[in-house]
Amino acid sequence: LTPVFLPIVEQTAISPIHFGVVMIVTLMIGLLTPPFGVILFVLNAVTGVSLERITRHMVPFYLPLLFTLLLIIVFPELVLWLPRAMGLA
């Protein structure tokens, strides 16, 4: 979806670096969230533990992940300070 959204991002005041980080974190959360969480199926195949048990043990991790996503969306400086310090953004 990056090629679809990048022209829109470039026309707005959103930094492409910030957009990339937000997109990666969002996709990571999607890979961990049922019913399409591919990582859950990999964990099931590797460990032999049921999907229900894996999902039940993943629930405490969703809140910090969503909180982190909210922080980097609301405060883009958390993401952009290092690229700006290096002269990249």
3-42 pLDDT tens trace: 999 999 999 989 999 999 999 999 999 998 888 889 989 9
Res 35: pLDDT:
82
Containing domain of residue 29, as a range?
A: 2-6+14-83
**Within-domain flag for 32:** yes
**Within-domain flag for 60:** yes
**C-alpha span between 42 and 35 (Å, rounded):** 13
**Within-domain flag for 88:** no
Cβ atoms 17, 83 nearer than 8 A: yes
**Full-model pTM:** 0.83
**Within-domain flag for 20:** yes
**Within-domain flag for 21:** yes
Task: Please list, in sequence order, all residues whose beta carbon lies within 8 angstroms of the beta carbon of residue 16, skipping any fewer than 6 positions away.
Answer: 6, 9, 10
**C-alpha span between 79 and 9 (Å, rounded):** 16
